[in-house]
Amino acid sequence: MSPEMTQMKGNVKPMLTHDFHKCLGAEKKVSFDNGMDGSVAEDCYFAMRALDEGYSFTFIEGEMWEKSPFTLWDFVQQRKRWLQGILLVVHSKTIPFRKKLLLAISCYSWVTLPLSTSNIILAALCPIPCYPVIDFLCAFIGAVNIYMYIFGVVKSFTVYRFGLFRFLLCIGGALLTIPLNIIIENVAVIWGIIGKKHKFYVVNKNIRQPITV
Protein backbone atom coordinates (compact mmCIF):
# COMPACT_ATOMS: atom_id res chain seq x y z
CA MET A 1 0.00 0.00 0.00
CA SER A 2 1.36 3.41 -0.96
CA PRO A 3 2.14 6.02 1.74
CA GLU A 4 -0.65 8.20 0.32
CA MET A 5 -3.20 5.39 0.68
CA THR A 6 -1.97 4.62 4.19
CA GLN A 7 -2.34 8.26 5.18
CA MET A 8 -5.82 8.42 3.60
CA LYS A 9 -6.90 5.26 5.39
CA GLY A 10 -5.66 6.66 8.67
CA ASN A 11 -7.55 9.92 8.18
CA VAL A 12 -10.92 8.39 7.30
CA LYS A 13 -11.96 7.57 10.85
CA PRO A 14 -11.03 10.95 12.37
CA MET A 15 -12.81 12.73 9.51
CA LEU A 16 -15.95 10.66 9.95
CA THR A 17 -15.82 11.08 13.72
CA HIS A 18 -15.43 14.84 13.36
CA ASP A 19 -18.36 15.12 10.94
CA PHE A 20 -20.49 12.85 13.14
CA HIS A 21 -19.89 14.97 16.23
CA LYS A 22 -20.50 18.12 14.19
CA CYS A 23 -23.90 16.77 13.11
CA LEU A 24 -24.74 15.84 16.70
CA GLY A 25 -23.71 19.32 17.79
CA ALA A 26 -26.09 20.91 15.29
CA GLU A 27 -28.97 18.66 16.35
CA LYS A 28 -28.39 19.37 20.03
CA LYS A 29 -28.07 23.11 19.51
CA VAL A 30 -31.03 23.53 17.16
CA SER A 31 -33.12 20.46 18.08
CA PHE A 32 -36.26 19.35 16.27
CA ASP A 33 -38.61 20.60 18.97
CA ASN A 34 -39.32 24.06 17.60
CA GLY A 35 -43.03 24.55 18.12
CA MET A 36 -45.75 24.80 15.51
CA ASP A 37 -43.93 27.21 13.19
CA GLY A 38 -40.92 24.92 12.97
CA SER A 39 -42.79 21.65 12.59
CA VAL A 40 -44.57 21.92 9.23
CA ALA A 41 -41.39 22.21 7.14
CA GLU A 42 -39.10 21.00 9.91
CA ASP A 43 -36.13 20.29 7.64
CA CYS A 44 -36.17 23.82 6.23
CA TYR A 45 -36.53 25.35 9.68
CA PHE A 46 -33.69 23.22 11.04
CA ALA A 47 -31.43 24.22 8.14
CA MET A 48 -32.09 27.93 8.64
CA ARG A 49 -31.50 27.73 12.39
CA ALA A 50 -28.32 25.69 11.91
CA LEU A 51 -27.11 28.17 9.30
CA ASP A 52 -27.66 30.96 11.79
CA GLU A 53 -25.57 29.01 14.32
CA GLY A 54 -22.66 28.83 11.89
CA TYR A 55 -23.19 25.38 10.40
CA SER A 56 -22.99 24.84 6.65
CA PHE A 57 -24.49 22.27 4.30
CA THR A 58 -23.65 20.76 0.96
CA PHE A 59 -24.88 18.04 -1.37
CA ILE A 60 -23.74 14.47 -0.76
CA GLU A 61 -23.01 12.38 -3.82
CA GLY A 62 -25.26 9.44 -3.16
CA GLU A 63 -28.74 8.06 -3.67
CA MET A 64 -31.69 7.82 -1.35
CA TRP A 65 -34.71 5.78 -2.31
CA GLU A 66 -38.00 7.41 -1.44
CA LYS A 67 -41.61 6.81 -2.38
CA SER A 68 -43.47 9.57 -4.16
CA PRO A 69 -47.15 10.29 -3.42
CA PHE A 70 -49.38 7.68 -5.04
CA THR A 71 -52.28 10.00 -5.86
CA LEU A 72 -52.69 13.46 -7.35
CA TRP A 73 -54.58 14.50 -4.20
CA ASP A 74 -51.64 13.54 -1.98
CA PHE A 75 -49.24 15.35 -4.31
CA VAL A 76 -51.24 18.59 -4.13
CA GLN A 77 -51.51 18.26 -0.35
CA GLN A 78 -47.76 17.72 -0.11
CA ARG A 79 -46.99 20.80 -2.20
CA LYS A 80 -49.45 22.84 -0.14
CA ARG A 81 -47.82 21.75 3.12
CA TRP A 82 -44.34 22.57 1.86
CA LEU A 83 -45.44 26.05 0.80
CA GLN A 84 -47.14 26.72 4.12
CA GLY A 85 -44.20 25.35 6.08
CA ILE A 86 -41.63 27.45 4.23
CA LEU A 87 -43.83 30.54 4.65
CA LEU A 88 -43.81 29.92 8.40
CA VAL A 89 -40.01 29.65 8.30
CA VAL A 90 -39.67 32.89 6.32
CA HIS A 91 -41.92 34.70 8.81
CA SER A 92 -40.28 33.17 11.88
CA LYS A 93 -38.86 35.76 14.28
CA THR A 94 -36.21 33.33 15.52
CA ILE A 95 -34.28 33.44 12.23
CA PRO A 96 -32.50 36.68 11.23
CA PHE A 97 -33.72 38.21 7.99
CA ARG A 98 -30.25 38.23 6.43
CA LYS A 99 -30.06 34.45 6.81
CA LYS A 100 -33.39 33.79 5.11
CA LEU A 101 -33.32 36.48 2.40
CA LEU A 102 -32.70 34.07 -0.48
CA LEU A 103 -35.24 31.64 0.94
CA ALA A 104 -37.78 34.48 1.14
CA ILE A 105 -37.17 35.45 -2.50
CA SER A 106 -37.63 31.86 -3.61
CA CYS A 107 -40.70 31.38 -1.41
CA TYR A 108 -42.48 34.52 -2.57
CA SER A 109 -41.65 33.71 -6.17
CA TRP A 110 -43.60 30.54 -5.46
CA VAL A 111 -46.41 32.35 -3.63
CA THR A 112 -46.93 34.81 -6.48
CA LEU A 113 -46.99 32.08 -9.12
CA PRO A 114 -50.74 32.58 -9.78
CA LEU A 115 -50.01 36.19 -10.74
CA SER A 116 -47.29 35.11 -13.17
CA THR A 117 -49.54 32.44 -14.67
CA SER A 118 -52.50 34.76 -15.07
CA ASN A 119 -50.23 37.37 -16.61
CA ILE A 120 -49.44 34.99 -19.48
CA ILE A 121 -53.14 34.72 -20.33
CA LEU A 122 -54.11 38.32 -19.61
CA ALA A 123 -51.18 39.73 -21.57
CA ALA A 124 -52.47 37.96 -24.67
CA LEU A 125 -56.14 38.86 -24.14
CA CYS A 126 -55.70 42.40 -22.81
CA PRO A 127 -52.31 43.75 -23.85
CA ILE A 128 -51.79 46.68 -21.48
CA PRO A 129 -48.45 48.48 -21.39
CA CYS A 130 -46.68 47.88 -18.09
CA TYR A 131 -43.70 49.42 -16.43
CA PRO A 132 -40.49 47.56 -17.30
CA VAL A 133 -40.02 46.69 -13.64
CA ILE A 134 -43.38 44.87 -13.61
CA ASP A 135 -42.44 42.86 -16.69
CA PHE A 136 -39.09 42.07 -15.11
CA LEU A 137 -40.66 40.87 -11.85
CA CYS A 138 -43.14 38.64 -13.67
CA ALA A 139 -40.39 37.16 -15.83
CA PHE A 140 -38.14 36.72 -12.78
CA ILE A 141 -40.83 34.91 -10.79
CA GLY A 142 -41.53 32.56 -13.68
CA ALA A 143 -37.83 31.95 -14.27
CA VAL A 144 -37.17 31.11 -10.61
CA ASN A 145 -40.00 28.59 -10.55
CA ILE A 146 -38.90 26.92 -13.79
CA TYR A 147 -35.29 26.84 -12.61
CA MET A 148 -36.20 25.25 -9.27
CA TYR A 149 -38.36 22.68 -11.06
CA ILE A 150 -35.61 21.69 -13.50
CA PHE A 151 -32.99 21.74 -10.72
CA GLY A 152 -35.11 19.34 -8.68
CA VAL A 153 -35.55 17.02 -11.65
CA VAL A 154 -31.82 16.97 -12.39
CA LYS A 155 -31.08 16.16 -8.75
CA SER A 156 -33.70 13.39 -8.73
CA PHE A 157 -32.18 11.41 -11.59
CA THR A 158 -28.56 10.45 -12.10
CA VAL A 159 -26.67 9.53 -15.23
CA TYR A 160 -24.86 6.88 -13.18
CA ARG A 161 -28.03 4.94 -12.38
CA PHE A 162 -30.12 5.62 -15.49
CA GLY A 163 -27.53 6.01 -18.21
CA LEU A 164 -27.30 9.06 -20.45
CA PHE A 165 -30.18 8.12 -22.78
CA ARG A 166 -32.72 7.36 -20.03
CA PHE A 167 -31.51 10.37 -18.06
CA LEU A 168 -32.24 12.66 -21.02
CA LEU A 169 -35.63 10.98 -21.47
CA CYS A 170 -36.48 11.70 -17.83
CA ILE A 171 -35.45 15.33 -18.21
CA GLY A 172 -37.46 15.63 -21.44
CA GLY A 173 -40.51 14.03 -19.82
CA ALA A 174 -40.28 16.42 -16.89
CA LEU A 175 -40.11 19.39 -19.25
CA LEU A 176 -43.17 18.16 -21.15
CA THR A 177 -45.18 17.96 -17.93
CA ILE A 178 -44.44 21.57 -16.96
CA PRO A 179 -47.95 22.77 -18.03
CA LEU A 180 -49.60 20.17 -15.79
CA ASN A 181 -47.19 20.98 -12.99
CA ILE A 182 -48.01 24.69 -13.28
CA ILE A 183 -51.71 23.93 -12.81
CA ILE A 184 -50.99 21.76 -9.77
CA GLU A 185 -48.68 24.39 -8.27
CA ASN A 186 -51.28 27.13 -8.72
CA VAL A 187 -53.89 25.03 -6.93
CA ALA A 188 -51.45 24.25 -4.12
CA VAL A 189 -50.39 27.90 -3.76
CA ILE A 190 -53.93 29.30 -3.61
CA TRP A 191 -55.01 26.57 -1.23
CA GLY A 192 -51.90 27.06 0.88
CA ILE A 193 -52.47 30.80 1.22
CA ILE A 194 -56.11 30.57 2.28
CA GLY A 195 -55.79 27.33 4.26
CA LYS A 196 -54.67 26.74 7.83
CA LYS A 197 -50.89 27.07 8.02
CA HIS A 198 -50.31 24.72 10.96
CA LYS A 199 -52.30 21.77 9.64
CA PHE A 200 -49.93 18.90 8.88
CA TYR A 201 -51.19 16.58 6.17
CA VAL A 202 -49.52 13.17 6.33
CA VAL A 203 -49.03 11.69 2.86
CA ASN A 204 -49.76 7.98 2.87
CA LYS A 205 -46.87 6.21 1.14
CA ASN A 206 -47.67 2.71 2.29
CA ILE A 207 -48.25 0.26 -0.52
CA ARG A 208 -51.83 -0.87 -0.22
CA GLN A 209 -52.39 -4.59 -0.40
CA PRO A 210 -54.80 -5.63 -3.17
CA ILE A 211 -58.25 -6.51 -1.91
CA THR A 212 -59.37 -9.94 -3.02
CA VAL A 213 -62.96 -11.14 -2.88
Kindly report which listed range (6-10, 99-103, 204-208) carries the lowest average pLDDT score. 6-10
What percent of the chain stands above pLDDT 70? 83
* pLDDT tens for each residue of 15-44: 344 454 556 677 777 777 788 888 888 889
User: pLDDT at residue 12 above 60?
Assistant: no
Higher-confidence position of 212 and 107: 107
Kindly report which listed range (7-16, 48-57, 143-152) carries the lowest average pLDDT score. 7-16
pLDDT, position 5: 38
Give burial (CB, 10 Å; 0-12/13-18/19+) of 201.
Answer: middle
CB–CB of 141/116 below 8 Å? yes
H helix intervals, the chain: 3-30, 42-52, 72-90, 101-111, 113-125, 132-156, 159-176, 178-194
Tell me the average pLDDT across 68-94: 89
pLDDT, position 9: 40
Kindly report which listed range (42-56, 121-135, 168-182) carries the lowest average pLDDT score. 121-135
φ, ψ of residue 52 to 5 degrees: the values are: -65, -25
pLDDT, position 65: 72
Domain range list for the chain: 15-55+68-194
Higher-confidence position of 122 and 98: 98
Place 81 in a pLDDT band, splitting at 50, 70 and 90: very high
pLDDT, position 22: 57
pLDDT, position 128: 78
CB–CB of 207/96 below 8 Å? no
Tell me the average pLDDT across 94-115: 89
Give dist(CA 29, CA 50) in Å, integer. 8
Give dist(CA 27, CA 48) in Å, integer. 12
φ, ψ of residue 31 to 5 degrees: the values are: 65, 170
Tell me the average pLDDT across 44-53: 88
